[in-house]
Structure 1
Amino acid sequence: MDLELALRMTEAALKQAVREGALVSVAVVDAGGHLVSFQRMAGAEIAGPVLAPGKAYTSVALRAATADLAPLVAPGGELFGLTGDRFVCFGGGIPLWADNGEVERVAGGVGVSGGTISQDVACAEAAALVWRTR
């Protein structure tokens, strides 16, 4: 994950947000969950600068889209009790996969917050598409 690619990804998410009619924050992290790029649209919600990086981090740490985690962290779920201020388990975070020829691994993640869950997911998917077509 490099800065130039991460910036292209955040721009793609913001363009999708405009199409969706949403005001969002978007974060791209590397394989260690460290922030590489972050942008917040003017007027986006106050929680976005916390939730977007949290969704990106969560998608890397758990190697799963955050939209898929809600039933797992609910009572009786495999991840019930998962706590911590860095884990955000609702839609808008997507892991970014890389294949080195032998093993597929998580190379980073994208997180979007500020719209509805479906808007956040659509914006994160737009960013992930840039990753997949790089």
Structure 2
Amino acid sequence: MKQQAQLELEDVKRIAAAAEAHAAGKGWAVSIAIVDAGGHLLWLQRLDGAAPISAQIAPAKAHTAALGRRESKNYEDMINQGRVSFLSVPGLQGLLEGGVPILVDGQCIGAVGVSGVKSSEDVEIAKAGIAAL
């Protein structure tokens, strides 16, 4: 049987604090979501000034990255390149750039999703959070 790391509350808090600090340092108003390996929401934070819809999009991006075990941008790219059948994938809603898996020893243990600024900036914030681990 394989052993796999799991996110604990302190890990989640560390990721969230680093992501928030990065966003705040740039003056970006975003929502930050962190999920476990099954895509279940562990943390959701909407910074002051972030659009309400971002609190829906960030968890969807994180969920997609966790279940797919890859950045959500991969799905957006496939769709943009004409593979629109991915729009019908069951259970995946955040098929937009901004969801980043959390990988430990090659295993996906969760993901961070960010929404509120340009997609590449969302990714930058998510990766800053993950780097805090």
TM-score by length of 1: 0.84
Once the two structures are superposed, residues 7-33 of structure 1 have per-residue CA deviations (whole angstroms, 9 ceiling, x without a partner) of 111111111111222101101111111
Structure 2 residue corresponding to 1:4, chosen from 10, 13, 17: 10
CA drift at 1:85: 6.9
Tell me if 1:23 matches 2:29.
yes
> Identity rate of aligned residues, in percent?
35
RMSD over equivalenced CA pairs, Å: 1.9
Residue 81 of structure 1 aligns to a residue whose secondary structure is helix
Q: Is the 8 A contact 1:20 1:119 kept in 2?
A: no
Aligned partners of 1:44, 1:81: CA distance in 2, in Å? 26
Deviation track 1:58-114 (CA, whole Å, cap 9, x = no partner) reads 001111111232121246328533356742122211001122xxxx22110000111
Q: Judging changes above 3 Å, is the alpha-carbon distance between structure 1 residues 20 and 51 closer, same or farther for their aligned structure 2 residues?
A: same
Match of 1:82 among 84, 88, 95: 88
Q: Which residue of 2 aligns with 1:69?
A: 75
- SS at 2:100 equivalent: strand
- Normalised by the length of structure 2, the TM-score is 0.85
Unmatched segments (≥5 aa) in structure 2: 1-6
| C-alpha distance in structure 1 between counterparts of 2:52 and 2:132, whole Å | 27
In the alignment of these two chains, the number of paired residues is: 127
Residue 51 of structure 1: aligned partner: 57
Specify the SS of the correspondent of 1:18.
helix
